[in-house]
Amino acid sequence: MTTTHILGYPRIGPKRELKFALEAFWQGRKTAAELQSTAAALRSSQWRAQRDAGMRFVSVGDFALYDHMLDTAALLGALPARFGFDAPTLSLQQSFELSRGNAAQPAMEMTKWFDTNYHYLVPELDAQTSFERGTQNLLDRVREALAAGYKPKPVLVGPLTFLWLSKSHQSEFDRLSLAPALSAAYARVLAQLAELGVEWVQLDEPALTLELDTPWRDALPVLYGAIPAQHGAARPRLLLTTYFASVTLAPATLATLPVDGVHLDLVRAPEQIATWRDALPPQWVLSAGIIDGRNVWRTDLAAALQSLRPLQAALGERLWIAPSCSLLHVPVSLGAEDGADARLNPEVRPWLAFAEEKLAELATLATALDQGEAAVAAALQANATALAARRACPRVTLPQVRRRVQSLTEADARRASPYPARSAVQRERLHLPVLPTTTIGSFPQTADIRAARAAWRRGELRHTDYLQKMRDEIAAVIHKQEVIGLDVLVHGEPERNDMVEFFGEQLWGYTFSAHGWVQSYGSRCVKPPIIWGDVWRPEPMTVDTARYAQSLSAKPVKGMLTGPITLLQWSFVRDDLPRDEVALQLALAVRDEVNDLQNADISIIQIDEPALREGLPLQRSAWAAYLGWAVRAFGVAAGVARDHTQIHTHMCYSEFNDILPSIAALDADVITIETARSNMALLDGFGAFAYPNEIGPGVYDIHSPRVPTADDMARLLRRAAQLIPPERLWVNPDCGLKTRAWPETESALRHMVRAASELREEL
* Footprint on this chain of ligand GLN (rule: CB under 6 A): 440-442, 493, 499, 560, 608, 610, 650, 652, 735-736, 738
Nearest CB to ligand GLN, comparing residues 516 and 736: 736
Query: Please, which residue, 565 or 735, has the CB nearer to Zn ion?
Result: 735
Segment contacting Zn ion by CB under 5 A, of 215-223, 590-598, 607-615, 742-750:
607-615
Q: What residue 708 binds from ligand GLN, Zn ion, none (CB within 5 to 8 A, per partner kind)?
A: none
Judged by beta carbon, residue 205 or residue 734, the one nearer Zn ion is 734
Number of H helices, E strands in the chain: 26, 20
- Min separation Cβ 441 and Zn ion, Å: 8
Q: Angle, nearest 10°, between helix axes 92-100 and 68-75?
A: 120
**Stretch of residues binding Zn ion (CB under 5 A), selected from 79-87, 283-291, 406-414, 734-742:** 734-742
Nearer to ligand GLN, 61 or 494 (CB): 494
Considering only 90-98, 200-208, 298-306, 604-612, which stretch makes contact with Zn ion by CB under 5 A? 604-612
Would you call 496 helix, strand, or coil by DSSP? coil
State the nearest-atom distance from the C-beta of 700 to ligand GLN, in Å. 13
Which partner in Zn ion, ligand GLN, none is near 499 (CB below 5 to 8 A by kind)? Answer: ligand GLN
Contact 320, 4 (CB under 8 A): yes
Query: With binding defined as CB under 5 A, does residue 160 bind Zn ion?
Result: no
Does the annotation mark 703 as catalytic?
Answer: yes
| Phi-psi domain of 408 (left: phi exceeds 0; alpha: psi -120 through 50; beta: other) | beta
User: Rounded to an integer, what distance in angstroms lies between the CA atom of residue 651 and that of residue 655?
Assistant: 10
The residue count for binding Zn ion (CB under 5 A) is: 3
Least Cβ distance, residue 648 to Zn ion (angstroms): 12
Please report, to the nearest 10 degrees, the dihedral formed by the alpha carbons of residues 370, 374, 380, 382 taken in order. -150
Minimum distance from CB of 439 to Zn ion (Å)? Answer: 11
Site for Zn ion in 316-345 (CB under 5 A): none
Question: How far apart (Å, rounded) are the C-alpha atoms in residues 109 and 168?
Answer: 11
First to last CA, the chain: 77
Render 433-448 in DSSP notation, one character per residue: PSS-B---SB----HH
Q: In the bound complex, what is the minimum distance in angstroms from residue 444's beta carbon to ligand GLN? A: 11
Question: Which secondary-structure segment (H or E) carries 518?
Answer: strand 518-521
CB count within 10 Å of CB 715 equals 16
C-alpha angle with apex 560: 432 to 329, nearest 5 degrees? 140
Give 96 or 443: the residue with its C-beta nearer to ligand GLN. 443
Q: 568, 584, 594, 735: which one contacts Zn ion (CB under 5 A)?
A: 735
652 is a site residue for Zn ion (CB under 5 A)? yes
Nearer to ligand GLN, 72 or 649 (CB): 649
CB under 8 Å to 338, separation ≥6 — which residues? none
Cβ at position 652, least distance to Zn ion in Å? 3
Residue among 94, 68, 52, 252 at smallest CA distance from 161: 68
The DSSP letter of residue 319 is E
For residue 560, the partner it binds in Zn ion, ligand GLN, none, with Cβ less than 5 to 8 A by kind, is: ligand GLN
* Concatenated DSSP letters of 190-250: HHHHHHTT--EEEEE-GGGGS---HHHHHHHHHHTTTS-SS-SSS--EEEEE--SS---S-
Residue nearer to Zn ion on the CB measure, 241 or 606: 606
- 263, 644, 703, 751: which one is catalytic? 703
Eight-class DSSP state of 594:
H
Q: Please, what is the minimum distance in Å from the beta carbon of residue 440 to Zn ion?
A: 6
Residue 182: name its binding partner from Zn ion, ligand GLN, none (Cβ under 5 to 8 Å by kind): none
Amino acid making up residue 19: K
User: Which residue is nearest to Zn ion, using beta carbons?
Assistant: 652
Q: Which range touches Zn ion (CB under 5 A), out of 140-148, 335-343, 408-416, 727-735?
A: 727-735
Q: Contact residues for Zn ion (CB under 5 A)?
A: 610, 652, 735
Residues with a known catalytic role: 703
